[in-house]
Amino acid sequence: MNKEPRLKASHKIGKVDVRKFAGRAVTFVALCTAALVAAPTAYAEPGGGTSVITLDTLPDDVLGDILTFLPLKEAVDTTVVNQHLRNVAREPAFWSGYINQTSDYTTLRTLAQNTHLTQQAHKRMNSLDFVKIIAGNGIAGRPLGPASVTNTQLFSPENIAVEANGNRLVVEHFGHRVLRISSDGTQVSVFAGTGERGRHIDPNSAAHTEFSQPRGLAIEASGDVLVVDAYNDRVLRISPDGTHVALFAGGNGEGRRLDAASATNTQLLRPKNITVEASGDVLVTDTWNDRVLRISPDGTHVALFAGGNGRGNHLDPPSATNTQLLWPKGIVISEGGEVLVVDSGNHRVLRISPDGTRVSVFAGGNRRGNHLDPSSSTNTQLDAPSDIAIDAQGNVFVADNDNDRILRVKFDGSEVARAVGTGREGSTLNPDSATDTELKSRYMNGFGVAFDSSGALLVTDSGNSRVLRIPAKRIG
């Protein structure tokens, strides 16, 4: 019977020169006394000294540190690291994934944790357990990366939505298009837009339809995609396969006319975002008109839901339509049907009952600032918030754009925490910690937030031209 060798943490640190592997995909695990590798051509100096050995030749009772696995510089993207190394630990995940390294050297950190190696078990190492980039290479642009989603350039990604099959749709504000990223992160394609600014609609092809700085999107129960084509002042409805495109709302010039019987005869002015109620009704934040519209699924009924009575910050608790908004942006619907509206210019989030007869401040609303009160969302300050999402537990996530952070707020407002971002602008990514990962907002654009079916938070980090995926256990 094979004996299970044990490893003990000894807190040593190894350093790897990734220049030795430039252009090659090498995944390995390092020990302070040995390097456990996918291919015996790898090289490491963990804790001093050089050693190359595979697990199947590792003697019993070796003492050492599990350090990390590392897709090396210029290696093929590994959205899921699915190569099985023989005899890898079977205990709960202890890996630190350093994805898309750009420096010549990286330090591999040890973990103070005992673990086991076994001759019988295999461990699938999965980079989805860590904060990582799922799209974009940090360079603003339009080229698609055929070999890697993370080699694709994004131009101000502003919003994201997840389809029923797990595919992600990403809106590029200055890229004038919507990209579709496969659920496994291995493929990227243009779902809609030519990449050039325009207003032409091809009823048979989303890819040949033109946008002008799109900003938001939502997916209907049918799978149809509603895209907010902001600078064409319209909303388009697109079939899941992109073969049917139709005007859903606006598109008849800048203005504020509201036609109660026709969404396409109603005017919009730089709309930002959109969401779909359980009834199928659509709510649109008509940003520069400082209002939110409710539109029936067939577009034959249009009503003012909130704002629309002049730009300002007046709040009327029994009336959403008597409440004033200033540049409303993000919008989301709670499980109970309440509507949360990001009133960006007033640096607050409003909570509105489904019938619009109850309005209250959910978060912010006490002047622009960055103060965080962990026990009160209304004592917490926001700075130009841009988007909002709700997780499966009912926690609300507010993209606090100009504070370069995303806040997690308990639905009753009694708990507030920084979920993502350091509160300082930057591009550093820490795979182990969302709160040590930096975000960068872009003027007039904001972070978009959404959740996938696993509970991971997806963030369009617009100023860094990338999309982040943060698993639930890494959210602050």
Q: In this predicted model, what pLDDT tens digit does every residue of 20-36 receive, in sequence order?
A: 333 322 333 333 222 33
Is 449:399 a contact under the CB 8 Å cutoff? yes
| Structure-token pair, residue 5 | 């060798």
Angle at 373 between CA 377 and CA 161, to 5 degrees: 50
Domains by residue range for the chain, with CATH: 1-128 (no CATH), 132-474 (2.120.10.30)
The pLDDT value recorded for residue 432 is: 82
Is 382:402 a contact under the CB 8 Å cutoff? no
454 burial via Cβ count (<10 Å: 0-12, 13-18, 19+) = exposed
Bridge partner list, 331: 341
256-260: long-range contacts, CB 8 A cutoff, minimum separation 24 = 256/286, 256/289, 256/291, 256/308, 258/293, 258/302, 258/304, 258/308, 259/302, 260/301, 260/302, 260/303
The residue with tokens 């938001």 is 216
Kindly give the parts of the chain with pLDDT less than 70: 1-129, 139, 141-150, 442-444
pTM: 0.76
Q: Which amino acid is at 343?
A: D
Is 37:54 a contact under the CB 8 Å cutoff? yes
The span from the CA of 464 to the CA of 58, in Å, is: 43
- Beta-carbon contacts of 76 under 8 Å, excluding residues fewer than 6 positions away, are 25, 147, 148
The span from the CA of 395 to the CA of 455, in Å, is: 12
Q: Tell me the Cα Rg of the chain.
A: 24
The pLDDT value recorded for residue 445 is: 72
The pLDDT value recorded for residue 128 is: 58
Ramachandran quadrant class, 227 (left: phi over 0; alpha: psi -120 to 50; beta: rest) = beta
Q: Residue 476: which of 431, 422, 417, 423 has the closest Cα?
A: 417
The pLDDT value recorded for residue 145 is: 53
For every residue of the chain, which 3-state class applies, written as one string?
A: CCCCCEECCCCCCEEEEHHHHCCCCCCEEECCCCEEECCCCCCCEECCCCCCCCHHHCCCCCCCCCCCECCCCCCCCCCCCCCCECCCCCCCCCCCECCCCCCCEEEECCCCCCEECCCCCCECCCHHHCCEEEECCCCECCCCCCCCHHHCCECCEEEEEECCCCCEEEEECCCCEEEEECCCCCCEEEEECCCCECCCCCCCCCCCCCECCCCEEEECCCCCEEEEEHHHCEEEEECCCCCCEEEEEECCCCCCCCCCCCCCCCCCCCCCEEEECCCCCEEEEEHHHCEEEEECCCCCCEEEEEECCCCCCCCCCCCCCCCCCCCEEEEEECCCCCEEEEEHHHCEEEEECCCCCCEEEEEECCCCCCCCCCCCCCCCCCCCCCEEEECCCCCEEEEEHHHCEEEEECCCCCCEEEEECCCCECCCCCCCCCCCCCECCECCECCEEEECCCCCEEEEEHHHCEEEEECHHHCC
| Structure-token pair, residue 343 | 């009133």
Among positive and negative, which fits the CA dihedral 180, 424, 409, 446?
A: negative
The pLDDT value recorded for residue 191 is: 97
Is 289:281 a contact under the CB 8 Å cutoff? no
379 burial via Cβ count (<10 Å: 0-12, 13-18, 19+) = middle
Angle at 102 between CA 99 and CA 103, to 5 degrees: 120
The span from the CA of 363 to the CA of 454, in Å, is: 26
The pLDDT value recorded for residue 76 is: 34
| Structure-token pair, residue 386 | 């841009």
The pLDDT value recorded for residue 139 is: 67
